[in-house]
Structure 1
Amino acid sequence: MLLSLCRIVIFCLLSASFTVLGANVSTYLPNDGVYSKQVPTPESALGFGIGERHPRHDQVLNYLQQVAASSPRVNIEEMGRTTQFRSQALLTISSPENLNNIDEILARRSNIAASAKDPIVVWLGYSVHGDEISGTNAAMVVAYHLAASQDKEVVDMLNDTIIVIEPSINPDGMDRFVNWVTTHRGITENPDPNHIEHHQNWRTGRTNHFGFDLNRDWLLLSQKESQNRLPYFHQYQPNVLGDFHEMGANGSYFFQPGIPTRTHPLTPAKNTELTQLLATYHAKALDAKDRLYYSEESFDDFYYGKGSTYPDINGGIGVLFEQASSRGLQQDTINGLLTFEYGVQNHVLTSLSTIEGAWKNQAKFKNYRKDFFKLAEKQASDENFNGYIFTETKDNYRLQAFLTKLQQHQIKVYPLKQDYKIDDRTYLAEHSYYIPLAQPQYRVIKALFNQQKDFQDNTFYDVSGWTLPLAMNIRFAQVGRTWGLKTQEKPWQPSAAKNTEISDSAYAYVFEWHDFLAPKLLNEITNAEIKAKVATKAFSAKVNSVVKTFNQGTIIVPAGIQHMENWRSILSDFATKNQIPLLALDTGLTAKGIDIGSSSFRPVSAPKVLLVGGKGVSQYEAGEMLYYLDNLLEIPVTVVEMQRLTAINLADYSHIIMVDGKYATLTAKVLSQFKSWLANGGVLFGQKRAALWLSEQKLLKIDFVSKDHIDQLFDTEKLNYGDKEQLAARKRIAGAIFEAELDTSHPLAYGYQQSELPVFRNSTVIMEQTVIPFISVAKYSKAPLLSGYADQNLVNRLANNPTLVAHNVGKGRVIASTDNLVFRGYFLGSMKIIANSLFFAKAFSANLAE
């Protein structure tokens, strides 16, 4: 009995040292505050104090639900679910009267005159990067303060203000980080920066399920979390949005404005003035606690796809906050011991200073929003064109995806009533749409369609070119005069899906490869053991008594080689699900070109894909590749870390994909495995530095431009030390869109109707021109820069050089690209090259000996 009691006492002591119960929320809040006892404190719900350990998402959510249930000042709702099915919560905090009338208040937001007397809206978004978790913990403190405080100033403020709190923007990444830290922290706190607690594994908590940086997705909307949030953002239309992050441990605290010259020209100058006004409140709050901070350095306001910048083109003021990160419970830094509590406290201080600054200057922020949209009307009328017209005649999926993104951004798009001709191109009414500039979202339209190449400051924290129609390979043009342009009266709305009905006696079925989801359909039917072939030459055949021409890449499913009784219904179901038309052929004799029994129809099979991952591999590019193959095409991908490759039987896989990364640590044994696997028929795809590594290992027969050569492109003779940063900016391509010229006769280009293809580049990995015939699938055009910044020296060096090459290695193939063909999940235009590499690599032969 005594021994059992001793064990209990020891267990309790150990538990206490690990958990350290008792920290009170009041330590984070203004002194002498009076709080309602009806509202639970964080420590009472969590079982530990804020900053003492890292709570899981479900614990945070449970506490905030208790706050909402106990306070008439707080509403909580679910915006949606993440890929891992965690709830994306949104709190609305205001006076009970405002909350009772919240639907009417929000309904008036679009009518600025009618909403002039309504409360100002402040949105606080926390921890979009899941391992920057001080924000989420600060959110709990702020929510408690606003829900429970009895101070007159807080009560008065809530009468005039609606505060919207998104406590955890990235729940999946947050829990990945929390599990890591909780697993690796010791009983005794260890501030050593080298401790494993501070160094996450390959897939860090920064990113979401697919490895995406959600703070780059506000404009692109490729991820579920962003798509779930945006309707609420446009419903609330915040006047001010605070975006709370963390940075390196040796920093201090940053708040905007950032570098003035790195603000996008579409952002009004008044935006910066109001950001500076708010900065005085942040400074006052941090000064009172003797906290270090800085502003107008490091960060920019250029790319509109971030939480702190998207409001800037939607009538609000976005403000970025960056706290030095302990990346655990505590860490030694150049500024002394940095604790988790310290970071939480700073974010609480600036959260409250954001609310205070917005409330006390609400007239200025309301007037700014009113003037923002008035100025937009004037700027639209001052343009030398009236709008944009766009079309996509072949790929309905890409067209619908593009239209959906525009609608999510509240942009009105009108279908054409009749064909329209401009610049010697006819836009067919059935597939074409018009966007007038004269609408409230003028700046968002410009941000999405802009192809700016010249900038005041050429140093970019993020990408400089993101033109949406280029990324999605949608043809578009500016419309000057609208004379003769006839559109429907009502904006576009999505239509219902159509069933695909097929004849039950056809000789063969055909579907064309230009549809974005054609690879998904092909993978599904081949996995279902329905046999299919690809046409390597064009042909013409009768469909419903009309002769139709089919291009290379067309998929045919002949009835005579099927062995399943219900294969026709399975095929029909898959086609309906993917909204891809199936065309029936009544005979194997074609009107022109190859007949159905020709050997020019090559068998295709479902790929078995291995993606190389692990430390050294870009988690972003690996995530983007996974998103395309796994989420969009539903092709399973096996991820194997580099250090495990020696134990893997590569013969189990048809394809290996290597995205950008550092591959110098791969052993000679792995290289030998690759060579043997290729010789026996494997297909290896390498992207960016992976392609460079393949060249260095003599597996890829193409040379690359050296770093020394790139350095020699820039004259440094007259530069002084102050020019160092500018020179570094000129030598890099932070992210821009270039024009590639495809060889559309090549199987890797099947499905493309025109040779011009916009591609994304964010590196200076450059292939040299080659004299080897037939291995260049795509090269850059003579003047390749389409959107964004790249120094002219680099643009000239890229011109006419290959960007996509492919050739035989034994029975196998090596394919290499210097571009990111699946960038951030929204570059739908170039993604098909990856699918073609999976299905059609054996449909071409480029033997180096020929």
Structure 2
Amino acid sequence: MTKYLSCLLFLFLFQFAHAQSQSPDQFLGYPLGTKFTYHHQIVGYIRALEKQNPDRVKIIQYGTTNEGRPLITAFISSAENISRLESIRTNHLKSIKMLEGKPDGTVPPIVWLSYNVHGNEAVSANSSMKVAYELLNKDNALTQGILKNTVVIIDPCENPDGYDRYTQWYNRYQNATPDVTTYALEHDEPWPGGRFNHYLFDLNRDWAWQTQKETKARIALYNQWMPHLHADFHEMGANRSYYFPPAAKPFHKDITAWQREFNELVGENCRRYFDKNNWAYFTRYNYDLFYPSYGDTWPTFNGAIGITYEQAGGGQSGLAIDRKREKDTLTLVSRIDHHYATSLATLESVASRQERIIKEFIRFHEDAATNPAGTFKTYVVKTKGNEERVRAFTEWLSNQGFQYGQAGKSLATKGTELTTLSDQSVKIESNDLLISAYQPKSNLIKVLFETKPVLEDSVTYDLTSWGVSYLFGLKAYGLKEKLTSVAYQPTAIENKIPDATPYAYLARWSDVEDVVFLSELLKRNMLVRSSNVPFEMEKMNFDAGTLVITKKGNNEKDFDTVVTALATKHHVQLIPVKTGFVTTGQDFGSEFVPVLKSPKIVTVGGPGVSATSFGSVWHYFEQQINYPMTVVDPSRLASLPWAEIDVLILPDGRYSGILSDKVLDQLQAWVRNGGKIIAMEKSTESFAGKSGFGLTKKNTDKGKEGDVFKKYGDQERVETSDSSPGSMYNVTFDRTHPISFGLKPEYYMLVRDAYDTEYLKEGWNVGYLTEKAYMAGFVGQKMTGKLKNTLIMGVQPIGRGSVVYMMDDPLFRGMLYDGKILFSNAVFR
């Protein structure tokens, strides 16, 4: 009997424990919002909720960050829905033709709530705990009603590395009682801030391009679930209020009427909460739905309702900050309340239209697969001579979830060349890629392939031109006819050691993997030459930039085995040759075929330097080409051992207090002795007009007077007239200069600023914009003139060294394939 009663007591306590979820306050040991919670504690709390509610919560870890933190999502719903979660997923994908077969069960709306893609917008991750708790709170009739017919996916922190960078700093420097003074140390976040991930990329702008580890992992899971709605929670400046839908113009024209309608509905529900509590807010301003790489737009072009929420606060606000203009104190607690309210308003919106939201989602994908929008029904990408680039491109297509194949046969047809939108005859070869518009994700395909998107309003938040043919440097065509494809078979590359030992191995230079191959050779201290001129030998033509790896000078044991294995590993096709004599061009022993040095590279990173520009360089060396780079603080420049350094990279930034006359004199002496400076974007301004450096600024505004009667109400549009939020230009290059080696005939760049720089009078004007350089995107009237006949890439020889001036960042967001080739040339050649 005693044993029986003990069992009953155990079962009672077990059921009680699992019926009551710990609140965040109980789990953390302090009231939510009274301090910033570390990421591991947030993960611990979500895992505790799963343990306490195993029938209503399922956690999926979808990846890890560069610093090893887990990326998790919590699936929260009714016990019935959680028990058939996999069935819901597969039936959902079948209903939108992303899995074969017909659904055999009902599918509730799937809502994905993402928090803290920007690490120092730290209210979001803290809010996620309250949202998760209340969804599981059995005393909350509203949330229990929602869960009955909804699967909620909560990503409590999209950017754990940036979030913890901010949280650790703030918790270290905050006062015991929060100091609300705006200039207090706890409101002065140090460089680089917590906004970005480990490599200082903006993850909210990476959805379409998927350059970062976190993004790839998240989208892999996203494509397995394809939620009906995705909401992204952010923060903005402390002196603003709260933004929720309706979104601002411009809307991309391919956003459907239903998506616009639901955008309005969500706004109505949010207004109800905010009006009831007398909370300030704004709508239809600033945050548009145009550029396709955000956490609201990328899901939108996948058929979802994509929403952005912006709470006043951000990294400056800490736990509390005085807002004199608003006559209040903004606290973390109030910020959590606001995000919690919009989270519930979002879920209520879905619950109120659950049948319609499912119906419209299915219709979106059915239309995409059977009657795709737009003129083009098939996209053709030329592959010959671009095999490695195409390999990278098909990996990107697969990551997006796109279906593609090869032509399988040759044919001639008519098509539109996408970079110029000119109609041409198209000769399709059997290995060319075909991407059909007749597939569930064709709307996203259309948007990402388009090169001249229609912009309904010039006041926009981000880039106004993209287009994968620009970004990958691939010739692509849009066809009005539907073509069928065969399965894609990537070109296999295998290098074998010839029977007769070759004089040298040649490797063409045109792809990022060629750079990785060179990197490995140089790290092994192998001797590699590069032909600075085109040449012909053994009835084959080779472009300038071709790598020449001779047996002579390389003492590597098993030289042939090592070189061929490395080349195969990196998809590089070697051409073994029997002689160093060329039919035309310069022989391999010529000074025109110099040895490439293994350079010691130093990059400046710290206060004054653009975090994202530095991050692009850092990521390029560590994650893309795997070549060592040393990072130094700007304050160390005056005391570096210059004799040990070969290349100094100055990312974009403000260097006025860094590059003093003394440091510039040091740099100039070092360059004369063989050093190389790569100055990027605004860092070039420190050299303009300085003695010994040949860079000068244009005087384009001299003698011009502004409109003294301009209207105050037009100030935002007046500002846009002197801007380019991100437009596409075709750069003209001196193709004989090593910086241009391996580039495609057209090199496209994303212009975001104009530097009004004169052509170099002494040196090489390697890349520049002509009168006809503009390709696509919005450029303000005043900016247009500044982007004509202006220097983009220049090289100034000084003694035995040089200064490379890059007015544009070729590594911007890791988007431009040819930009990586160009930057590699600047570093290694």
Q: Same fold (TM over 0.5)?
A: yes
Contact 1:766–1:818 (8 Å) recurs in 2: no
Residue deviations 1:267-302 (CA, integer Å, cap 9, x gap): 123322211111122122223333222212222111
1:731 equivalent to 2:722? Answer yes
For 1:173, the equivalent position in structure 2 comes to 162
Q: Displacement of 1:699 after TM fit?
A: 4.8
Contact 2:608–2:654 (8 Å) recurs in 1: yes
Residue aligned with 1:764, SS: coil
What one-letter code is carried by the residue in structure 1 that aligns with 2:167?
V
Contact 2:252–2:454 (8 Å) recurs in 1: no
Q: For residues 140 and 602 of structure 1, do their structure 2 counterparts lie closer, same or farther at Cα, with a shift above 3 Å needed? A: same
1:248 equivalent to 2:222? Answer no
What one-letter code is carried by the residue in structure 1 that aligns with 2:677?
L
Q: Displacement of 1:663 after TM fit?
A: 1.4
What one-letter code is carried by the residue in structure 2 that aligns with 1:521?
F
What is the alpha-carbon distance in structure 2 between the residues aligned to residue 792 and residue 632 of structure 1?
38
For 1:16, the equivalent position in structure 2 comes to none
1:623 equivalent to 2:606? Answer no
What is the alpha-carbon distance in structure 2 between the residues aligned to residue 463 and residue 404 of structure 1?
24
Residue deviations 1:651-709 (CA, integer Å, cap 9, x gap): 32111112221111122221121111111111111122122322232454243334735
Q: How does 1:583-602 map to 2 (within 5 A)?
A: 583-602=575-594
What one-letter code is carried by the residue in structure 1 that aligns with 2:655?
Y
Among candidates 342, 345, 349, match of residue 350 of structure 1: 342
Residue aligned with 2:372, SS: helix
For 1:845, the equivalent position in structure 2 comes to none
For 1:452, the equivalent position in structure 2 comes to 452
For 2:417, the equivalent position in structure 1 comes to none
Contact 2:434–2:485 (8 Å) recurs in 1: no
Q: Displacement of 1:454 after TM fit?
A: 5.3
For 1:537, the equivalent position in structure 2 comes to 533
Residue aligned with 2:402, SS: coil
1:362 equivalent to 2:354? Answer yes
For 1:679, the equivalent position in structure 2 comes to 672
Comparing 109-118 and 184-193, the one that deviates more: 109-118
What is the alpha-carbon distance in structure 2 between the residues aligned to residue 706 and residue 273 of structure 1?
49
For 1:502, the equivalent position in structure 2 comes to 497
Residue deviations 1:14-46 (CA, integer Å, cap 9, x gap): xxxxxxxxxxxxxxxxxxxx9965423323333
Residue aligned with 1:183, SS: helix
Q: For residues 707 and 138 of structure 1, do their structure 2 counterparts lie closer, same or farther at Cα, with a shift above 3 Å needed? A: farther
Q: Displacement of 1:93 after TM fit?
A: 0.7
For 2:774, the equivalent position in structure 1 comes to 785
What is the number of residues matched between the two proteins? 792
Contact 1:35–1:149 (8 Å) recurs in 2: no
Residue deviations 1:469-514 (CA, integer Å, cap 9, x gap): 20111111222346xx6x5334x4768x755333372221111111
Identity %: 27
What is the alpha-carbon distance in structure 1 between the residues aligned to residue 675 and residue 713 of structure 2?
51
Contact 2:769–2:788 (8 Å) recurs in 1: yes
Q: How does 1:811-830 map to 2 (within 5 A)?
A: 811-830=800-819
Q: Displacement of 1:166 after TM fit?
A: 0.6
Residue deviations 1:298-341 (CA, integer Å, cap 9, x gap): 22111121112222111111111111116322111133111111
Comparing 428-437 and 333-342, the one that deviates more: 428-437
For 2:258, the equivalent position in structure 1 comes to 270
What is the alpha-carbon distance in structure 2 between the residues aligned to residue 45 and residue 244 of structure 1?
23
Q: For residues 526 and 589 of structure 1, do their structure 2 counterparts lie closer, same or farther at Cα, with a shift above 3 Å needed? A: same
Q: Displacement of 1:826 after TM fit?
A: 1.6
What one-letter code is carried by the residue in structure 2 that aligns with 1:615?
P
Among candidates 363, 374, 387, match of residue 396 of structure 1: 387
Q: Displacement of 1:738 after TM fit?
A: 0.7
Residue deviations 1:449-484 (CA, integer Å, cap 9, x gap): 1122652210111111122220111111222346xx
Residue aligned with 1:782, SS: coil
What one-letter code is carried by the residue in structure 2 that aligns with 1:550?
F
Q: Displacement of 1:769 after TM fit?
A: 4.2
For 1:86, the equivalent position in structure 2 comes to 69
Q: How does 1:70-469 map to 2 (within 5 A)?
A: 70-71=52-53, 72-112=55-95, 117-259=106-248, 261-325=249-313, 327-334=317-324, 335=326, 336-373=328-365, 376=368, 380=372, 383-421=374-412, 422=414, 429=429, 431-452=431-452, 455-469=455-469
Q: For residues 110 and 690 of structure 1, do their structure 2 counterparts lie closer, same or farther at Cα, with a shift above 3 Å needed? A: same
For 1:758, the equivalent position in structure 2 comes to 748
What is the alpha-carbon distance in structure 2 between the residues aligned to residue 84 and residue 646 of structure 1?
32
Contact 1:36–1:150 (8 Å) recurs in 2: no
What one-letter code is carried by the residue in structure 2 that aligns with 1:595?
D
Q: Displacement of 1:222 after TM fit?
A: 0.9
What is the alpha-carbon distance in structure 1 between the residues aligned to residue 209 and residue 155 of structure 2?
20
Contact 1:218–1:310 (8 Å) recurs in 2: yes
What is the alpha-carbon distance in structure 2 between the residues aligned to residue 548 and residue 287 of structure 1?
74
Q: For residues 593 and 783 of structure 1, do their structure 2 counterparts lie closer, same or farther at Cα, with a shift above 3 Å needed? A: closer
For 2:486, the equivalent position in structure 1 comes to 489
What is the alpha-carbon distance in structure 2 between the residues aligned to residue 751 and residue 571 of structure 1?
21
What is the alpha-carbon distance in structure 1 between the residues aligned to residue 49 and residue 366 of structure 2?
40
Residue aligned with 1:241, SS: strand
What is the alpha-carbon distance in structure 2 between the residues aligned to residue 420 and residue 674 of structure 1?
58
Q: Displacement of 1:567 after TM fit?
A: 3.2
Contact 1:241–1:319 (8 Å) recurs in 2: yes
For 2:712, the equivalent position in structure 1 comes to 721
Q: Which aligned segments of 4 or more residues in structure 1 are displaced greater than 6 angstroms?
A: 113-116
What is the alpha-carbon distance in structure 1 between the residues aligned to residue 489 and residue 579 of structure 2?
40
Residue aligned with 1:125, SS: strand
Name stretches of at least 5 consecutive residues in structure 2 with no aligned partner.
1-15, 97-101, 415-422
Contact 1:784–1:795 (8 Å) recurs in 2: no
What is the alpha-carbon distance in structure 2 between the residues aligned to residue 600 and residue 44 of structure 1?
72
Residue aligned with 1:604, SS: coil
What is the alpha-carbon distance in structure 2 between the residues aligned to residue 141 and residue 234 of structure 1?
27
Q: For residues 758 and 126 of structure 1, do their structure 2 counterparts lie closer, same or farther at Cα, with a shift above 3 Å needed? A: same
What one-letter code is carried by the residue in structure 2 that aligns with 1:502?
I
What is the alpha-carbon distance in structure 2 between the residues aligned to residue 527 and residue 833 of structure 1?
20
Q: For residues 718 and 406 of structure 1, do their structure 2 counterparts lie closer, same or farther at Cα, with a shift above 3 Å needed? A: farther
What is the alpha-carbon distance in structure 1 between the residues aligned to residue 633 and residue 269 of structure 2?
48
What one-letter code is carried by the residue in structure 1 that aligns with 2:181?
D
What is the alpha-carbon distance in structure 2 between the residues aligned to residue 210 and residue 203 of structure 1?
10
Contact 2:410–2:429 (8 Å) recurs in 1: yes
For 2:736, the equivalent position in structure 1 comes to 745
Contact 2:136–2:144 (8 Å) recurs in 1: no
For 1:14, the equivalent position in structure 2 comes to none
Residue aligned with 2:564, SS: helix
What is the alpha-carbon distance in structure 2 between the residues aligned to residue 613 and residue 427 of structure 1?
48
For 1:693, the equivalent position in structure 2 comes to 686
Q: For residues 827 and 427 of structure 1, do their structure 2 counterparts lie closer, same or farther at Cα, with a shift above 3 Å needed? A: farther
What is the alpha-carbon distance in structure 2 between the residues aligned to residue 236 and residue 493 of structure 1?
28
For 1:6, the equivalent position in structure 2 comes to none
What one-letter code is carried by the residue in structure 1 that aligns with 2:497?
I
Residue deviations 1:132-156 (CA, integer Å, cap 9, x gap): 1111111111112222424444333
For 2:32, the equivalent position in structure 1 comes to 50
What is the alpha-carbon distance in structure 2 between the residues aligned to residue 566 and residue 662 of structure 1?
49
Comparing 290-299 and 824-833, the one that deviates more: 290-299
Contact 1:83–1:224 (8 Å) recurs in 2: yes
Q: Displacement of 1:753 after TM fit?
A: 4.4
Give the CA RMSD over aligned residues: 2.5
What is the alpha-carbon distance in structure 2 between the residues aligned to residue 758 and residue 265 of structure 1?
25
Residue deviations 1:787-810 (CA, integer Å, cap 9, x gap): 211135533542343311112012
What is the alpha-carbon distance in structure 1 between the residues aligned to residue 50 and residue 502 of structure 2?
61
